[in-house]
């Protein structure tokens, strides 16, 4: 029996969702109700060919490629810099979409690297500006599960915060990333989506207490932990570029639907930050349902799919056993 390629599930899950959302980015939910996305489109908002992925996937691939050599914050930062200034891991050699926070942060990373002040990379998370809580670290964080899976949660959080803070410094973004990755970890360990969600809730509630996370931050995540986000009506689900909106919208879609196609299309058709919501949703949906259940016509339309496949093969070989099972604690 052929072993499962979890890295392929992740990378294609993210990038296919991203590419579905690119042509309608910034369109309203109302407009998409009239003309919903049902498959890959071309042109649209960014005037790109069908199957084009955005910065969401580019930075996801940068992180994945860096992890091939192990975990190195300096190397991850370098990959992000090369993406912005040299166009690595872009579909056609040029960055066509970049958020303001990410743009400013990578400029800062370039300065840190030029000065060889590498210790500053770990100090970025000391920044407390709440305005850095866009969704730009959440959208690219999924490959990190390959490295942090089954580590103690406090260690997972410290690593996650360091990687998140390369572009998004605040603890809120790091907590959002941790919640997302904990669901992914439980899926990797064979749980259903409902059980994965419930186990994440237990993990995070304990984490909040043991790490003395402020009540202010805990309350902001209330609709996910301890409440069940899927119990909220669609009209209360926002799909803006704010990290909490993106996390809630993605998990809401993930819990509401039962296959990759419907899950990801539902996230695109929420409107606004369509590519990022769908990329985040697609990461979980790809992992749960596997790349084999992503519509073939969507994968076939994806830009540079062979390059993505090669990256996934390498990542899977490094971090997952030959049997296709996640490495357990020893």
Q: Which two tokens stand for residue 23?
A: 């042509």
**Would 328 be classed as within a structural domain?**
no
Domain that holds residue 83: 6-37+44-319
**Would 330 be classed as within a structural domain?**
no
Rounded Cα distance between 250 and 268, Å, is: 10
Please report the pLDDT score of residue 2 as a whole number. Answer: 60
**Would 327 be classed as within a structural domain?**
no
**Would 264 be classed as within a structural domain?**
yes
Q: Answer yes or no: are the C-beta atoms of 262 and 237 closer than 8 Å.
A: no
3-class secondary-structure state, position 141? coil
Task: Provide the CATH number for the domain around residue 146.
Answer: 1.10.4080.10
Share of the chain residues as helix, strand and coil, in percent rounded to the nearest 5:
65, 0, 35
**Would 138 be classed as within a structural domain?**
yes
> For residue 65, which of 21, 7, 110, 122 has the smallest C-alpha distance?
7
> For residue 282, which of 273, 292, 271, 291 has the smallest C-alpha distance?
291
Q: How far is CA 184 from the centre of its chain?
A: 10
**Would 54 be classed as within a structural domain?**
yes
Rounded Cα distance between 267 and 277, Å, is: 6
**Number of separate domains in the chain:** 1
Please report the pLDDT score of residue 128 as a whole number. Answer: 83
Tens digit of each residue's pLDDT, the chain (330 residues) = 467 999 999 999 999 999 999 999 999 999 999 999 999 999 999 999 999 999 999 999 999 999 999 999 999 999 999 999 999 999 999 999 899 999 999 999 999 999 999 999 999 998 888 988 999 999 999 999 999 999 999 999 999 999 999 999 999 999 999 999 999 999 999 999 999 999 999 999 999 999 999 999 999 999 999 999 999 999 999 999 999 999 999 999 999 999 999 999 999 999 999 999 999 999 999 999 999 999 999 999 999 999 999 999 999 999 996 544 444 432
Q: Which two tokens stand for residue 248?
A: 């809630």
**Would 1 be classed as within a structural domain?**
no
- The pTM of the whole model exceeds 0.75: yes
Please report the pLDDT score of residue 322 as a whole number. Answer: 56
> For residue 283, which of 37, 42, 48, 53 has the smallest C-alpha distance?
53
**Would 324 be classed as within a structural domain?**
no
Rounded Cα distance between 57 and 49, Å, is: 16
């Amino acid at each position: 029996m052929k072993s499962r390629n979890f890295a392929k599930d992740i990378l294609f899950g993210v990038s296919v969702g991203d590419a579905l959302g690119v042509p309608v980015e910034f369109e309203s939910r109302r407009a998409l109700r009239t003309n919903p996305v049902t498959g890959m489109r071309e042109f649209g908002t960014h005037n790109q060919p069908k199957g084009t992925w955005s910065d969401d996937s580019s930075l996801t691939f940068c992180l994945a490629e860096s992890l091939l050599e192990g975990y190195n914050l300096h190397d991850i930062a370098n990959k992000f810099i090369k993406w912005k200034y040299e166009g690595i891991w872009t579909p056609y050699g040029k960055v066509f979409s970049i958020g303001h926070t990410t743009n400013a942060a990578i400029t800062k990373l370039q300065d840190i690297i030029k000065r060889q002040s590498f210790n500053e990379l770990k100090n970025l998370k000391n920044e407390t500006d709440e305005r850095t809580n866009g969704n730009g670290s959440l959208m690219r964080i999924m490959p990190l599960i390959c490295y942090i899976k089954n580590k103690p949660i406090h260690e997972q959080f410290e690593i996650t915060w360091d990687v998140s803070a390369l572009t998004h410094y605040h603890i809120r973004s790091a907590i959002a990333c941790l919640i997302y990755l904990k669901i992914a970890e439980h899926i990797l360990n064979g749980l259903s989506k409902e059980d994965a969600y419930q186990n994440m809730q237990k993990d995070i509630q304990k984490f909040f207490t043991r790490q003395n996370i402020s009540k202010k931050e805990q309350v902001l995540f209330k609709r996910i932990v301890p409440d069940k986000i899927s119990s909220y009506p669609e009209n209360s689900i926002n799909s803006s570029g704010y990290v909490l909106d993106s996390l809630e919208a993605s998990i809401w879609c993930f819990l509401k639907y039962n296959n990759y196609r419907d899950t990801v299309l539902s996230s695109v058709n929420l409107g606004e930050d369509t590519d990022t919501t769908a990329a985040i949703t697609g990461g979980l949906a790809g992992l749960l349902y596997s790349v084999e259940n992503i519509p073939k016509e969507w994968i076939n339309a994806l830009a540079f799919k062979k390059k993505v496949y090669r990256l996934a093969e390498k990542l899977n070989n490094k971090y997952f056993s030959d049997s296709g099972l996640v490495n357990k604690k020893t």
